[in-house]
Each structure stands twice: as structure tokens, then as C-alpha cells.
């Protein structure tokens, strides 16, 4: 490799999302190995995901937002100077001088300076308590100042303005939004969409002022913000102001260097992203492109990055040119899905609007179609699930009538409209310009991300990508593993694999190794490791280490997430038997925390309406009273229901309550492919409904009959008789074997009823294995169950004893003591129920 002095030098000014994508494109061409690359970054940290900036307030750390792999710069020999922006450019000498006074000679200069927030020139705009919403440092400053504030106001009701408002509300400020236009998000949505968005956002407790400008920011004697005067003369009292009134291209460096800029700003570039100086390129939000626009979205910036990299690398075949970009966008703002694509406002001559609106649910959908039926664009508010299909169809005549595109599922004539109807040329990922054909050539989502980068941008295309990937022809669990769940169980057990990452690296598909896996295999493998934890000699606690990242939503907080973002608490009550003292404790907890209480069909008491931060103090009282986790949140044993049996009932022939308690205490916490339910009836009258359970026990005069493979629900199935007239020890031994054989061989999320119907030989084969030991496995199955019984520990008791585990039980990581303001209730029948006016169509997101 030539030394640094003989290699050409590329200086990149700016290291945001577009700047990093440019570096990646250079590396893909091998240019970083042939040239010295110097990057001058204004911020104190490498490029991060500015699209997901607000997720910082949901607990994502700055490191997690980073877009730069830890060894990327070193691997490609790139010199990154943080907190040292370019101060001036001397085009004649071809040098760039940084703020620290360092001078770099360039052969090629790339300006990726982005944009700066526009702050209206109003009196008081620089007062203490005024902020912009652009960088992580801005967020840190807002977070700190909000600790002493009560009210916040956001100037601007666009994309970032609504995100900023959500952040202020999350910081427990009474929040106002001031928007000069007559509706929110005026660029993206039309009047109808804006009205739907307004109703939903006001329902969340934010105050919106549309059609008003800011005249002045007023201050107190110390110079701190204390109010705003609006254009109608009204005064809004506020302690904090965030300006989010749009952005302007950062073109001062180029202006000072004498480069051509647009009349309204932006560094003028041609189709190859070259400026008026052929040695200088400009990409991203600082560039005024050949079509006369400055693009403020990341997807056009990425396309410009690729275009400039192709030009610098002197790519001749299929070299990119930037002649315009798709302005489609899909976001979730304040929990509300908002999307627009194509000609969203119907600017084309002769076009027609097809609209569906449900003001009660906050849903608004509009598609714009041409006279010939061509889909031109649309707006989606409240329900944007169709975005992934509609955007690629833009410019073509859809295979269904226009009204079918906006009607909710089940309405109108059902016509199949799925990814299969898209042509291979349809662009699925607009951030990286990836087509359906390129995606379909991959086998797994990790492979798609690695080979095409689709799904790594805004993320709106991931759902459609999953539908396009070919099904694994080898019957594997998912695209990451060629093995079934049962085969993975054997691999984990036999080879004593103790982590998901190790299993993926050793037995995953080649294309998935080194990736993060997928949402199918992660919880399945997590369940396998948890069920084998005592045998493997590892902690089976779902919140320990890697295990925590593998769990489903409910397991993350050891509680069931409810529709308004609150959680339910379900203490274990074996056999439904409970003392008056324990009943009193449950009643006191429900009263003191304002919870809704309900007796379940499984002989337990559910407590509903707890905020995530209330879960530890509630469980502290329940554990102190002798209660355990009921595992209502996990794929594990739920309950063993019972009648009162011969102890009280004149028909009973066995002690069903004692047997139910013994079984529930034996199998509590047992992780399985699906939830498990059981019941014990004290006589043939079957009051406990044992034959509707995964394993059910019915008393006889001679002992117990064991039934397996039943379930209720949408497709009820009676359990089948496995063995009859068993004594206590024989009954427990057969249940041990049955459960461990099921856990060992079932597919993910497969109930015992479906497993019995699928497994070759059905019930007869299961009987041969667990009763007659035809495979010689029974000793091993019994040992596995004995390990589970010996190794069982109550998850909530363990959690309460571990400060590290308790750290996750907060509504907002950055404000641990702050309750979630979106969890609200209204009274009903002397209790409470969720306040549905605060819900979006998809419900409150899990934190």
C-alpha cells in the first residue's frame, strides 16, 4: 500500500448520518485503501441515528444510537477528528483549516455539513431556557433544564416538533405546541389527516395552538424564560421553549469559499453531487440538488452519498446519479403512525381522492389516484400498516379497487393484496434504494441487512421484507437456523450451549452468523436455555445478561402488558386455596395502588393497572406475604385448577386440592414452547374441567386418570386418556415424563394439543415413550424434571434482591422517578378501567 504522502487525500467535513454513509460507500469501493481519508466532525461523538433521536428519552443510550461499528474507522484507516469542525476552506491552496488550527491539504473535499435549526428572529429567542432539538447534546441540555420546569412549549408542529413535544411530556412538563400553519405536519399531511392527528394528540393531554406565530419570548428578572406572546396577542406561560420550526442548509463554509449557492440557501451541485468547484462535492441537507431542491430526509442524503462515492471512485458501470428523490416517509410520532407517499396532496391534474376516516379511532386514510386508476400518492394517520405496500405501488395501477386500499381489514370485498403483487423492480427500502428483487434473492433478514442495507434505515420496510423472504425449505425454525426447535433443544442439551450468540455462531445459517438474529428464534432459544438452565449450570432468570434481550415484551418486566400501557399482577395461588390473611394482603395492595381486581377462571386473582415503576413495590409486599410469581407473563405453567374434592364434596373420591397444589408447586416456573394449564377433578363429575387442559387429572375410586393434549380457546379440544388408575407417585412420574418429552420435541409456540396432532404416531407414540419407555428416554426425562424442581427459584423474589435487575422497572430511564403520563384511568363499577381516549389504534408501545 502506498504511504500517506503519495496517496490522494479526501477530506470530509461533517460526520452525520449522510457523512457516515458516504464513508461506508467509499469503503465498499476500496477507496479508503487507496486514499487518505480525514473526517472533521463538529460534535463530540461519531455519527448517530438522528432519525431515532427521541428514543434517547425512551432509554436508548447515545452508544446504542451510534451508526459506526467500533472498529470501522481503524479497519479502513479513516482519521476521525471529533469536536473539531472545519473553520475555513482555501480553494486556491486546496486546504481546510479546522477550529483547532490544524490545516489539511485535500485532493477531494466533501461537504456533509447538514443543516441547522431555524429559530425565528423574535425577541427573547436566546434567553435561558430556550433550546433547539437537533443533537444529543441538545437533548441532554433539555433534560437537565426540565428538572426545574413545569411547563414547556414547542415552536413548530412538524416532524421534529411533535417528537420534541413528546419528549417534554415524557419529562413531566405540561406541554404546548405552537404551529404557524393551520394544521400539524402541514408538509406531510392534508387537512383531514391533520384533523385526525390533532384529535389524537389533544387526547394525549397536549395543548395545540395552530394558526399562530410566536411574537416574543418573555423572561423574568434573571433572564430565564417565563412566557411567550403569540400572534393573536395571547400570552402562554411557560418555563422552557424548544424551537423546532424547520431547518436551513449549513452552507456558510461554502459561501465563504466562493462556491455557488442557491438564492434561498444550499450548496449548488450537479447530478454527480459536484459543486461549482469540480474538486468539491456536497451531499445531504446542505446541498441544493440539480432539480432545485434541498432534501431534508435521510433517504435522499444516502443516495447523494452513494452518488458522490461513485464519482470519487470513478465508477463507470451503473454509476449513481442524483436527479431527485422519493419524499415518502413513515413515522411514529407520540405513538401515532403517520405516513405520506407520492403526490400526497393531489397536485396532479384530474386526480381523485379516496378517503376513509374514523374520527372515533383517530384513523384517516387517503389515496390519490389518477383518471386511469394509477396510484399517485396518499396520506395515512393512525393506521399506517399499508404504507409498506402502497408506497412501492405508487405510479402503477393497483390490482384492487382504490377503496380497497383504504378500507380496514374485513370491510368491502376481500381481495388479496400482498408483496407478491409487487414487481421485482419495486423499491421496498427507500432509504437505501433496494428493490423487491434484491431482497427476494436473500434468505434471511440478517442477510438482507448485511448485503443490501435494507431495513437498517428508518425501519418502515422491515415488515414487508419479512413477507418477501423465501420460506426455509429445510423446515428450519426460521431464516437464522436450519434446525427445528426440537433439534436446537438437543443441540443445547447435548453440547451444553449456554448462550444464544454461541448457538447462532456454531449452528446458525452462514448468512446469519455474527448478526443479531430475529424475533422468531431469539425467544425460542431463550426458552430452551431457561428450561435447561439447571442442567446447564447457568442462571435461568429471564432478566440476567443475554437472556434479558431474548425475551418477549411481558417477560421483560415479569408482568403482562395491558392495552393502555399498564401491567397486571398475578400472584400464584396453588389449587385456588388461599388463607384469609393472604386475601387481606391482596385487597390492601389493590386498594393502596388503585388496581382493578378480578377473580379468574383459573382460580387466581388478577390485579390490573400497575405502572411499570409500581411493579417492584407491589411485589415486595406480595412476596413478604408469601406470594410467588404466577408466571402469567411467561410461556410456562400458569395454573393447576381444582375442585374441593373429597375433603368437602360429598361426591369426591380423592383429595383433588392437595394434588393440584402438589402439581402446581412442582411445575411452577417450568419454561415450555407454549403456556401450560392443568386441572384436577375429585370425581368423574369433572367440575375442574380437567379434560380441557394440557394435562388433566380426574380422580377414580382406584386412584387417578391422566389426560393429555386438551385446551380451550378458539379451537377447543378434549384431552386424551394417557393412563388410568394411577397412584400418586406413578401419576407424578408420568406427568414429569410427558412434560419433558413435550418440551424436548415441540415446535415454538406449539400447544400440547397441536403437538399431539403433529407428532408422528400421535398419542400412541407418546404413550409408548412416556409410559412404556420405548426409546429408553424416561430416566433422562425424569432427571431433567428433577433438576428443574431442585433449581426452581421465584423470579420476583430474585428480582427484588438484585438492584441491577430492578433498574429496568422505570417508565423513563432518564427520569427514573417519573410515572408514565399516558397511563390513565376512569372509574367504572367502583373500580377503574383504562381511559381509552389516550390510546392509539395500535395501543401504547411497550417500554
What does the angle CA 575 – CA 580 – CA 584 come to, to the nearest 5 degrees?
Answer: 110
Helices (H) and strands (E) counted in the chain, each on its own, are 29, 38
CA–CA distance, 382 with 204 (Å, rounded to integer):
14
Q: What is the DSSP letter of 636?
A: B
Q: For residue 27, what pLDDT is reported?
A: 93
For 47, residues 6+ apart whose C-beta sits below 8 A from its C-beta are 15, 16, 17, 19, 20, 41, 66, 67, 68
User: Is 847's pLDDT higher than 50?
Assistant: no
pLDDT band at 842 (very low <50, low <70, confident <90, very high): very low
The Cα 234–Cα 252 span in angstroms is 37
Give Cβ neighbours of residue 191 (< 8 Å, ≥ 6 apart): 182, 183
Q: What is the C-alpha separation between 709 and 751, in angstroms, rounded?
A: 8
Q: Is the pLDDT of residue 844 over 50?
A: no
d(CA 533, CA 787) in angstroms, rounded, equals: 9
CA torsion, ordered 679, 684, 689, 691, to nearest 10 deg = 80
| 815 — pLDDT class (breaks 50, 70, 90) | low
Burial class (CB within 10 angstroms; exposed 0-12, middle 13-18, buried 19+) of 73: middle
High-pLDDT (> 70) share of the chain, %:
92
Element (H, E) at 332: strand 329-333
Output the nine-digit C-alpha cell for 301: 442524503
Please say if the pLDDT value at position 682 is more than 50: yes
User: According to the model, what pLDDT value does residue 472 have?
Assistant: 43
- 841: confidence class by pLDDT, cuts 50, 70, 90: very low
Label residue 140 by pLDDT band (50, 70, 90). very high
State the pLDDT confidence band at 843, using cuts at 50, 70 and 90: very low
Q: What is the mean pLDDT of the chain?
A: 86
Q: How many CB atoms lie within 10 A of CB 824?
A: 18
Q: CB within 8 A of 499, min separation 6: which ones?
A: 529, 546
For residues 211 and 386, the model is more confident at 211
DSSP-derived secondary structure for 333-386: ETTEEEEEEESTT--STT-EEEEEEETTTTEEEEEEE-TTS-EEEEEEES--TT
Indicate the helix (H) or strand (E) that contains 737: helix 728-745
Coil/strand/helix, residue 431: coil
More confident residue, 440 or 24: 24
Rounded to the nearest angstrom, the gap between the alpha carbon of residue 567 and the centroid of all alpha carbons in its chain is 18
Contact present, 65 and 87 (Cβ < 8 Å): no
| Sheet arrangement for strand 605-610 | 560-561, 567-569, 605-610, 596-599
Say yes or no to pLDDT of 817 above 70.
Answer: no
Q: Could you tell me which residue, 409 or 691, shows the higher pLDDT? A: 691
Selected residue with higher pLDDT from 97 and 757: 97
| Residue bearing cell 411514529 | 332
Q: Which residues pair with 825 in a beta bridge?
A: 834
**Predicted confidence (pLDDT) per residue in 339-354, tens digit:** 888 888 887 778 888 8
Average pLDDT over residues 16-24: 95
Distance CA 145, CA 139 (A): 10
* pLDDT reading at 409 higher than 90: no
In angstroms, what is the C-alpha Rg of the chain? Answer: 31
Q: Is the Cβ–Cβ distance between 94 and 208 less than 8 Å?
A: no
Summarised one tens digit per residue, pLDDT across range 495-510 is: 889 888 889 989 988 8
Nearest to 567 by CA among 811, 250, 210, 797: 811
Express each pLDDT in 540-572 by its tens digit. 787 777 777 677 667 878 888 876 678 888 999
More confident residue, 273 or 462: 273
Q: Which one-letter DSSP state was computed for residue 407? A: S
pLDDT of residue 335: 66
String of DSSP letters for 790-801: HH---HHHHHHT
Residue 660: name the closest of 600, 789, 574, 739 by CA. 574
**Dihedral pair phi/psi, residue 58, rounded to 5°:** -100, 10
**Measured distance CA(508)–CA(500) in Å, rounded:** 10
pLDDT at 411: 53
Distance CA 465, CA 504 (A): 21
Give the chain's length. Answer: 847
Specify the residue for cell string 489539511.
Answer: 104
Q: Measure CA 196 to chain center.
A: 24
Tell me how far apart the alpha carbons of residues 450 and 442 are, in angstroms, rounded to a whole number.
10
pLDDT on residue 838: 44
Given a cut of 50, whether residue 55 has pLDDT beyond it is yes
Average pLDDT over residues 817-846: 64
637 secondary structure, DSSP code: E
- Between these two residues, 436 and 273, which has the higher pLDDT value? 273
pLDDT in tens, 623-664: 999 999 999 888 999 999 999 999 888 889 999 999 999 999
CB atoms inside a 10 Å sphere around CB 120: 15
* All three cell numbers of 651: 361426591
pLDDT at position 560: 81
Grid coordinates 483549516 are at which residue?
97
Higher local confidence (pLDDT), 418 or 389: 389
> Which range has the worst mean pLDDT, 245-259, 731-745, 802-816?
802-816
For the segment 43-53, what is each residue's pLDDT rounded down to a tens digit? 999 999 888 88
> Do the Cβ atoms of 435 and 428 come closer than 8 Å?
yes
Helix axes 728-745, 656-667, angle to 10 degrees: 40
The DSSP output letter for 274 is B
The phi and psi torsions of 115 (rounded to 5 degrees) equal -135, 170
Q: How far apart are CA 270 and CA 384, in angstroms?
A: 35
Q: Which of 458, 118, 486, 539 is nearest to 294 (CA)?
A: 118
CA 390 distance to own-chain centroid:
22
Three-state DSSP class for 609?
A: strand
Give dist(CA 286, CA 19) in Å, integer: 11
Q: Which helix (DSSP H) or strand (DSSP E) does residue 753 occupy?
A: helix 752-758
pLDDT at 382: 83
How much is the pLDDT for 468?
Answer: 75
Residue 607: pLDDT band by 50, 70, 90 thresholds? very high
* Residue 589: pLDDT band with limits 50, 70, 90: very high
Average pLDDT over residues 115-133: 94
Q: What is the pLDDT of residues 742-766, one digit of tens each?
A: 999 998 889 999 899 888 888 999 9
Q: Is 704 exposed, middle or buried (0-12, 13-18, 19+ CB in 10 A)?
A: buried
Share of the chain above pLDDT 90, in %: 49
pLDDT digits (tens, 9 = 90+) for 163-184: 899 889 888 899 999 999 998 8
Of 200, 205, 166, 203, the residue nearest 362 (C-alpha): 200
User: In the predicted model, is pLDDT for residue 706 greater than 50?
Assistant: yes
Phi then psi dihedrals of residue 280, to 5 deg: -120, 130
DSSP for 65-82 reads HB-S-TTHHHHHTEEEET
Q: What is the pLDDT of residues 481-536, one digit of tens each?
A: 888 888 899 899 888 898 888 899 899 888 777 777 777 788 889 889 988 988 88
State the pLDDT at residue 712.
Answer: 79
Amino acid at each position: 500500500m502506498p504511504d500517506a504522502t503519495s496517496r490522494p487525500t479526501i477530506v470530509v467535513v461533517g460526520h452525520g448520518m449522510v457523512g457516515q454513509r458516504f464513508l461506508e460507500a467509499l469503503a465498499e469501493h476500496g477507496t479508503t485503501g487507496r486514499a487518505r481519508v480525514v473526517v472533521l466532525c463538529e460534535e463530540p461523538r461519531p455519527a448517530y441515528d438522528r432519525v431515532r433521536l427521541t428514543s434517547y428519552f425512551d432509554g436508548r443510550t447515545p452508544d446504542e444510537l451510534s451508526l459506526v461499528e467500533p472498529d470501522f474507522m481503524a479497519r479502513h484507516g479513516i482519521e476521525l477528528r471529533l469536536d473539531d469542525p472545519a473553520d475555513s476552506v482555501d480553494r486556491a491552496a486546496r486546504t481546510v483549516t479546522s477550529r483547532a488550527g490544524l490545516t489539511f491539504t485535500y485532493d477531494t473535499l466533501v461537504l456533509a455539513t447538514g443543516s441547522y435549526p431555524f429559530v425565528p428572529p423574535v425577541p427573547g429567542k436566546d434567553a435561558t431556557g430556550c433550546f433547539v432539538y437537533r443533537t444529543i447534546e441538545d437533548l441532554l441540555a433539555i433534560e437537565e433544564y426540565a428538572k426545574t420546569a413545569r411547563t414547556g412549549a414547542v415552536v413548530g408542529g412538524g416532524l421534529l416538533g411533535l417528537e420534541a413535544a413528546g419528549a417534554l411530556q415524557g419529562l413531566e412538563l405540561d406541554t404546548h405546541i405552537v404551529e404557524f400553519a393551520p394544521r400539524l405536519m402541514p408538509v406531510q399531511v392534508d387537512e383531514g389527516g391533520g384533523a385526525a392527528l390533532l384529535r389524537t394528540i389533544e387526547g394525549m393531554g397536549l395543548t395545540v395552538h395552530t394558526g399562530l406565530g410566536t411574537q416574543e419570548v418573555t423572561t423574568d428578572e434573571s433572564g430565564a424564560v417565563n412566557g411567550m406572546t403569540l400572534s393573536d396577542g395571547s400570552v402562554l406561560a411557560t418555563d422552557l421553549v424548544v424551537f423546532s420550526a424547520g431547518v436551513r442548509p449549513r452552507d456558510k463554509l461554502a459561501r465563504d469559499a466562493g462556491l455557488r449557492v442557491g438564492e434561498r440557501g444550499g450548496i449548488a451541485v450537479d447530478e454527480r453531487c459536484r459543486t461549482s468547484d469540480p474538486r468539491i462535492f456536497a451531499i445531504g441537507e446542505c446541498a441544493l440538488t440539480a432539480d432545485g431542491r434541498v432534501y431534508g430526509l435521510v433517504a435522499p442524503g444516502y443516495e447523494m452519498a452513494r452518488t458522490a462515492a461513485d464519482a470519487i471512485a470513478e465508477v463507470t458501470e451503473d454509476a449513481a446519479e442524483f436527479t431527485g428523490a422519493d419524499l415518502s416517509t413513515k413515522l411514529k410520532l407520540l405513538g401515532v403512525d403517520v405516513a405520506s407517499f407520492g403526490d400526497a396532496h393531489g397536485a396532479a391534474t384530474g386526480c381523485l381522492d379516496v378517503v376513509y376516516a374514523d374520527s372515533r379511532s383517530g384513523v384517516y386514510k387517503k389515496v390519490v389516484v389518477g383518471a386511469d386508476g394509477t396510484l399517485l400518492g396518499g396520506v395515512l394517520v393512525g393506521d399506517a400498516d399499508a404504507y409498506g405496500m402502497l408506497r412501492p405501488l405508487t405510479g402503477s395501477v393497483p390490482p384492487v379497487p382504490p377503496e380497497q386500499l383504504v378500507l380496514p381489514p374485513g370491510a368491502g370485498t376481500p381481495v388479496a393484496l400482498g408483496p407478491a403483487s409487487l414487481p421485482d423492480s419495486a423499491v421496498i427500502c427507500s432509504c437505501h434504494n433496494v428493490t423487491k428483487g434484491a431482497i427476494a434473492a436473500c434468505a434471511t433478514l440478517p442477510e438482507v441487512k448485511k448485503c443490501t442495507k435494507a431495513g437498517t434505515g428508518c425501519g418502515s420496510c422491515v415488515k414487508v421484507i419479512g413477507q418477501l423472504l423465501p420460506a426455509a425449505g429445510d423446515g428450519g425454525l426460521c431464516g437464522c437456523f436450519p434446525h427445528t426447535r426440537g433439534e436446537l433443544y438437543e443441540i443445547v442439551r447435548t453440547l451444553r450451549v449456554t448462550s444464544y450468540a454461541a448457538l447462532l455462531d456454531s449452528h446458525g445459517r452462514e448468512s446469519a452468523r455474527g448478526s443479531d438474529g430475529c424475533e422468531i428464534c431469539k425467544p425460542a432459544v431463550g426458552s430452551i436455555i431457561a428450561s435447561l438452565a439447571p442442567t446447564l449450570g447457568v442462571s435461568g432468570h429471564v432478566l440476567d445478561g443475554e437472556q434479558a434481550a431474548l425475551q418477549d415484551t411481558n417477560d421483560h418486566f415479569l408482568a403482562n402488558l395491558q392495552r393502555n400501557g399498564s401491567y397486571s399482577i398475578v400472584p400464584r395461588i396453588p389449587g385456588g386455596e388461599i388463607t384469609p390473611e393472604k386475601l387481606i394482603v391482596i385487597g390492601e395492595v389493590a386498594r393502596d395502588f388503585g388496581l382493578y381486581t378480578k377473580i379468574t377462571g383459573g382460580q387466581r386473582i388478577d390485579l390490573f393497572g400497575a405502572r411499570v415503576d409500581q411493579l417492584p413495590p407491589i411485589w415486595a409486599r406480595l412476596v413478604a406475604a408469601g406470594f410467588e410469581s404466577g408466571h402469567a407473563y411467561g410461556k410456562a405453567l400458569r395454573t393447576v385448577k381444582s375442585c374441593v374434592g373429597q375433603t368437602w364434596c360429598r361426591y369426591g373420591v380423592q383429595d383433588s386440592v392437595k394434588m393440584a397444589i402438589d402439581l402446581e408447586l412442582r411445575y411452577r416456573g417450568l419454561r415450555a414452547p407454549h403456556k401450560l394449564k392443568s386441572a384436577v377433578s375429585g370425581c368423574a363429575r369433572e367440575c375442574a374441567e380437567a379434560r380441557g387442559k394440557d394435562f388433566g387429572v380426574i380422580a377414580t375410586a382406584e386412584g387417578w386418570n391422566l389426560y393429555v393434549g386438551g385446551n380451550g380457546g378458539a379451537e377447543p379440544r378434549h384431552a386424551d386418556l394417557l393412563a388410568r388408575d394411577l397412584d400418586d407417585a406413578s401419576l407424578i412420574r408420568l406427568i414429569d415424563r410427558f412434560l419433558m418429552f413435550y418440551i424436548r420435541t415441540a415446535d415454538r409456540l406449539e400447544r400440547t394439543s397441536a403437538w399431539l396432532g403433529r407428532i408422528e404416531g400421535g398419542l400412541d407414540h407418546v404413550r409408548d415413550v412416556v409410559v412404556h419407555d420405548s426409546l429408553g428416554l424416561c430416566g433422562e426425562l425424569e432427571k431433567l424434571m428433577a433438576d428443574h424442581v431442585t433449581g426452581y427459584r421465584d423470579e420476583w423474589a430474585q428480582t427484588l434482591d438484585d438492584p441491577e435487575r430492578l433498574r429496568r422497572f422505570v417508565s423513563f430511564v432518564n427520569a427514573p422517578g417519573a410515572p408514565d403520563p399516558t397511563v390513565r384511568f376512569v372509574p367504572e363499577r367502583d373500580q377503574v378501567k383504562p381511559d381509552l381516549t389516550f390510546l392509539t389504534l395500535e395501543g401504547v408501545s411497550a417500554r
